[in-house]
Structures are given as C-alpha cells and as structure tokens.
Amino acid sequence: MTLSSGWDETSKVNAVTAIPGYSENSSSGGKAANSAIPTFFDSYFHGDFRRQFPLDLSSGLGDKSLEEYDRTFPNFRVNTSVEIGFDTDGQNISSFEVKMDGPSKSAPITLEGGPGEPDNPFRAQEQGNKYAPSLDFDGEKDFLKPDVKGPKTSQKRVSVEGVDGVRGSIIFGGSDEYLVRAKNLGIALADFAIGGIIPEDLATYYVSLPAFYTFVDFVFMADGTKVTRVWDTSFYPAHALYVDGSRQDRTTFDEGEAWTRDGANSAFNIFAIESVIPGRTPFNNLFGSFVYKRKFQKGAGNNPAMLHRTSGSVLTFETVESNLSSPLFPF
C-alpha cells in the first residue's frame, strides 16, 4: 500500500518485527533449533536468520533462503507502516493522504524439515509420525499465512501553534496459524513435546496464543517536524523502528539475556505471562481493547517502546510532543 504520487511532502515510518537467530539450514552448517523460538518449537518453525536489524530498511525487509523450499521468504515477521503525504505552504495543509499497512506485509509461517532434522508434526509429508496426530494443516504447502490481528487504525488532522499537521496510528500483529489450527482441533501441547517436560511459559502461551504486535503513532507537521512514538509492542520478539528508510530505534532484545539458542528465553516468558493479563495487550480476548486503553493510560505497557523525533522550520519536536502527548488510540 503506497501513497498517490505528486504530494509536496511525504514521510513514512515502519515498525519491523523479527525473531533473531542463526542459520537453520542443516545442509550448510546450521541446525533446526538455532533461534529465539523457545524449546521444541524451534525445531518445528523458522526464525529470521539474523541477530540484529540492519541500518537500512531495504535490508531489514530482505529475504531468507530455506533448504526446505524452492523459493525465498521474508526474514522478518511483520512490517507495520504509516505513510503520510500532503500539499503545504510550510504552515497550512490543503489536502493530505494517509496509508497504513500491516496485513499484506506479514511473513508466512514456514516449517523446519531439512536433511537429518527431527520429525516435524506439522509437515504434510510426515503424517503419521510418532510424536503428534497425523493431520494435514496446510494443504501440503508446508507454510501458512499468520493468524492476523487487526489492523486497527486512526488518522486525523492536527494543529500546533498555528501549524497544521497530520497524524496516523495503527495497531497490528499476528500469531502462529499452525498452532491456532492445532489448538482449535483440540490437540494438546504434550503431543508436540516429544516426551519432554513442558515449560510453564510455553503452557501459558499455548492457552492464549498471543500475537506479536506494535502500536505505531506518527505525527508529521507542515513545517517538517516529525514525532514517531511506538507506544507499545509485544515483549517478544525483537522490534525496530525505521523512519524514511533508516533505522532509528529498536527494542532491547539481546542474545544471552532475552534469548539463547538452547531455548532459554526470558522475553518469551514475559510475553506469555502478559498474554493472560486482562487488558494488557490490544488483542487479549479478556475484555478486549477497551480495558487495554484504560490500563495503558494508567501506565501499563512500555510507553513508548521506540521513539524518534525531529524538529522542523517553525516548531520543535518538544512542542509537538507536549501538545500531542496522549496516544492516538485507533479504537
């Protein structure tokens, strides 16, 4: 989704979500469990084959090659964007356009299953393996689109000290469609655990199946002032903020602290716990967005998780930030 051409001024912000990790191509020195995906699920699903977000958006939205497929896939989970264009004399805005995107920018869920790797109960060609029910989850494609949540969006014209501006906000996310289908079929988590002990955080996660998400709020003023606040994100996985194609901020998601390659994952633990707290996340099934908004206004969440501000020719970003201090909730 892109803006129409011909606007005097345009600007775009992207919040990119990814699962850090190393190569999971066993045929070229990697291994199936080699990412921030926790415990045994890392042997079933792919991460994003990178440990940090590139500085350039085009690289941040690149592709990964997987030995199980004859095509490439995005090496990110979700790319959520707000793009604003307007005609202006530097103070007044005569007309504007806002484009917000998420659903068409969500990466498919792909399945492990390379040479010498463990049986994957989700792969069609392994129906009847001894670890899980013999079901075809995906019509033998061996990948699925994520279970999309949202997008919820809002846009409005604003004014600060006589200078016009435009504001757009979006909350968007998604979760693992394979696990959604398995849970809807009544399959127990123990069926996928291959005889191992199920960690408490993974059990909590399977009960709620929370979404990765970001809450992006972008203000673009006629004089060029920009204030971007990613008010909230899922605690897991990693997120980065790009403004006009350059990385400007990221959430803290360091290897050895938030995650390790052996499945220990403190960030995932918090992610799972938050998913069952009523109103803590925007897509929580308990009380929904109303309670999320109320709790968020009282201090829940990261507030903001990522931030970027630049002053314009008339206003400072501090002035805009102060005048538009409350989040623009898209519900």
Where along the chain do its domains lie?
Answer: 9-323
If we measure between CA atoms, which residue out of 146, 149, 153, 170 comes closest to residue 285?
Answer: 149
Which whole number is the average pLDDT over 187-194? 84
pLDDT category of residue 265 using cuts at 50, 70 and 90? confident
pTM of the model: 0.95
Which whole number is the average pLDDT over 48-63? 95
Which whole number is the average pLDDT over 298-310? 81
Give the type of residue at 164. D
pLDDT at 191 over 90: no
Q: Could you tell me how far CA 216 lies from the centroid of its own chain? A: 11
Which whole number is the average pLDDT over 115-140? 74
Which residues pair with residue 293 across a beta bridge? Answer: none
Bigger pLDDT: 320 vs 137? 320
Which whole number is the average pLDDT over 98-118? 87
Average pLDDT, the chain: 91
Q: CA-based Rg of the chain, rounded to a whole angstrom?
A: 21
pLDDT for the residue 287: 63
Which whole number is the average pLDDT over 71-91? 96
If we measure between CA atoms, which residue out of 238, 235, 213 comes closest to residue 289?
Answer: 213
State the Cα–Cα distance between residues 66 and 55, nearest whole angstrom: 24
In angstroms, the first-to-last Cα distance of the chain is 22
Give the type of residue at 27. S
Which whole number is the average pLDDT over 90-115? 90
Sign of the CA dihedral running 37, 39, 40, 43? positive
Which whole number is the average pLDDT over 181-201? 85
pLDDT category of residue 133 using cuts at 50, 70 and 90? low
State the Cα–Cα distance between residues 244 and 186, nearest whole angstrom: 45
Percent of the chain with pLDDT over 70: 92
pLDDT for the residue 179: 95
pLDDT for the residue 303: 67
pLDDT category of residue 167 using cuts at 50, 70 and 90? very high
pLDDT at 128 over 60: no
Tokens 């469609």 appear where?
Answer: 177
| Contacts (Cβ under 8 Å, ≥6 apart) of 262 | 33
pLDDT for the residue 129: 53
Which residues pair with residue 29 across a beta bridge? Answer: none
Which whole number is the average pLDDT over 156-181? 96
Q: Do 78 and 108 meet the contact criterion of CB atoms below 8 Å apart?
A: no
pLDDT category of residue 306 using cuts at 50, 70 and 90? very high
| Contacts (Cβ under 8 Å, ≥6 apart) of 110 | 45, 46, 66, 68, 69, 73, 142, 143
pLDDT at 304 over 60: yes
pLDDT category of residue 192 using cuts at 50, 70 and 90? confident
Tokens 């129409």 appear where?
Answer: 4
